Amino acid sequence: MSVSRLIVPSGSIVNKRKLPIILIIAISWTLADFIIFLIRLSSDSFSFKYEEQESITFKAILLREVNVLLVSFIIGFLLVSVLKRFLRHTSPWFHFLIKTIILIFAGLLMSFFIYITYEMIIGHRTFNQSIQRFFANTFQAGWIIPKVNEKYSPGVFIDIMMGKYLQPKEENRIIIFIDLRNSTPIAEKLANVDYFEFIRDFIFCISAGIMEHDGRIYQYVGDEIVAWWPSSKINARKAVDSLITSRKILNTNTDVFMRNYDIVPEYKAGIHTGPVTVGQVGISKKELVMSGNTINTASRIRSACTDLNQKFLVSKDIIELLGMEDWQSESMGNADLKGKNEEMELFALKI
C-alpha cells in the first residue's frame, strides 16, 4: 500500500518557519560568495581590473551578488520546502543524490545568470551574443575543467584526451611572439623576487588581452608569451586587436605597476602566419608541440623589433591577410632575419 502524502495548511506554523530558514540559506550563500570573491579579487591573479571606471566594477559585483541571492533563494526553497515534502519517504542515498544534482544545477544557473547579465548590461552585447560567448567560454575555459585549462590552455586538454594529435598534423596558424622590452635593465633594477612578481603581473595583462580575442596561449618562456589562432582574416584582426587590448589593460594598471615596481612595462611583438606541424609529445607529462619554419620566423620577426626600433612587426603574409590600408602599416623594407637564408619584407603596425 502506498504511503499518502501529508498536507500541511499553507498558513500553518510549520510553513511559516520555513521562510526564515530559506532566507538564512540565501543570505549566507550570498555573503560567503561575496567574501570569497573579495579574497580572490585581492589575490595576485585578480589584482587587475578590466574596467576603467570604479562604478562599472561596483555594478559588476552588484550584479553578481543579486544573481547569487536570487538563485540561492530558489535553491533554498527547493531544499527546505519542496524536497522535504516529496522525499520524506525515500532513502538517504537518494536524498543525497538529488540534492547533489540540484547543487550542481545551482552552480550552472548562477554561472549562467552572472555571465549573461554581465555581458548584456556591462558588455552591451545582445542576448544571442551573450549566449554564444557563455557557451564558448563555459565549455572551453569555464567551470568544468578550470584547473586543467590553466595547465594546458583552453581546448588543448580536450584535444589531448580525444587523441587528435597522436599523429602529427599540419595546420595553418597565426603565431604571435610577445616579450618585455628592456628586460635586462629592469631585472638589474629590481630584486629577484620583485622582478618575478613584475613578470607575473606583466604576463597576466598580456595574456588577458590575448584571451579576450580568443587567442590560445602556447607557452611562456621567461618574459615571453607565445600565442596562436587558426589562420584566417578574422583571426588576423583578432591577433592585432589583442595587442591593442593588452596595451589598454597595461595602461589601466599603470598606477599598480608604478606603486609596486616604479616601472611601467612595454612590450614588442612579431606576428607571422603559415603552416605548422602540431603533435603530442611526452610520457607522464603530455604536451602539444608546434614546430616548423613559421614558428621560427615569427620569433625572428619579434627579435627584429629591437634592430628596427619598432614595437610591432608583422610579415607581408599577415598584411595580405589583414587587407590593411597603407596608412595602417609601414614597410620596413627587406630585413635580414637571424638564421634565415633569405631576407623578408617586414611591416610596422601603426596602432
Three state DSSP letters for the chain: CCCCCCCCCCCCHHHHHHHHHHHHHHHHHHHHHHHHHHHHHHCHHHCCCCCCCHHHHHHHHHHHHHHHHHHHHHHHHHHHHHHHHHCCCCCHHHHHHHHHHHHHHHHHHHHHHHHHHHHHHHCCCCHHHHHHHHHHHHHHHCCCCHHHHHHHCCCHHHHHHCCCCCCCEEEEEEEEEEEECCHHHHHHHCCHHHHHHHHHHHHHHHHHHHHHCCCEEEEEECCEEEEEEECCHHHHHHHHHHHHHHHHHHHHCHHHHHHHHCCCCCEEEEEEEEEEEEEEECCCCCEEEEECHHHHHHHHHHHHHHHHCCCEEEEHHHHHHHCCCHHHEEEEEEECCCCCCCCEEEEEECC
Q: What is the pLDDT of residue 49?
A: 41
Residue ending a domain, among 144, 175, 206, is: 144
Q: What is the CATH number of the domain that holds 222?
A: 3.30.70.1230
Q: Global pTM?
A: 0.60
Q: What is the pLDDT of residue 151?
A: 55
Q: Which residue type occupies 97?
A: L
CA nearest neighbour of 131 among 120, 122, 121: 120
C-alpha cell at 97: 543524490
Q: What is the pLDDT of residue 106?
A: 75
Q: What is the pLDDT of residue 88?
A: 61
Whether residues 270 and 286 share a domain: the answer is yes
Q: What is the pLDDT of residue 342?
A: 78
Q: What is the pLDDT of residue 242?
A: 94
d(CA 350, CA 327): 8
Whether residues 221 and 321 share a domain: the answer is yes
d(CA 50, CA 56): 10
**Low pLDDT (below 50) residues in the chain:** 1-8, 14, 44-55, 140-148
Domains in the chain: how many in total? 2
Residue ending a domain, among 144, 173, 207, is: 144
Could you tell me if residue 78 is left (phi over 0), alpha (psi between -120 and 50 degrees) or otherwise beta? alpha
d(CA 191, CA 263): 13
Is 238 inside a domain boundary?
A: yes
d(CA 74, CA 85): 16
**The dihedral formed by the CA atoms of 143, 144, 149 and 155, expressed in degrees to the nearest 10:** -120
Is 259 inside a domain boundary?
A: yes
> Whole domain around residue 50: which residue ranges?
13-144
d(CA 25, CA 31): 10
d(CA 139, CA 328): 36
User: At CA 251, angle to CA 249 and CA 253, rounded to 5?
Assistant: 75
Is 4 inside a domain boundary?
A: no
Whether residues 209 and 190 share a domain: the answer is yes
Residue ending a domain, among 93, 114, 144, is: 144
Whether residues 119 and 198 share a domain: the answer is no
Is 277 inside a domain boundary?
A: yes
Q: Per residue in 114-129, pLDDT tens?
A: 778 777 877 777 877 7
Whether residues 282 and 186 share a domain: the answer is yes
d(CA 342, CA 244): 31
d(CA 115, CA 66): 12
